[in-house]
Amino acid sequence: MNERSTKRGFASRPGDAEGWIKASDAPPRRTDDAAAFTARLTIDVTPALRGRIKVAAFQRGVTVADMLRALLAREFPTEAGEPS
């Protein structure tokens, strides 16, 4: 009962100091504006449309989120004077 689990938990630091230090040298997951997004947009689509969107994203070699962000940025560009 008092034994400590050897299973690493979510967001736990590595057991060795060297691995912990090197982990901070990893490049950020995204280097585009996606890191600046703070809101989630939820829409309802039919299963057929969802499938078409996923196939199109796969064929283009991008994620659905990245493809839709580009679409929305193209359709709704920022106007002069608006914050990005």
**pTM for the whole structure:** 0.51
1-57 residue pLDDT tens: 566 666 655 666 667 767 766 665 655 555 556 566 678 889 999 999 999 999 999
Give burial (CB, 10 Å; 0-12/13-18/19+) of 21.
exposed
Largest Cα–Cα separation, the chain:
63
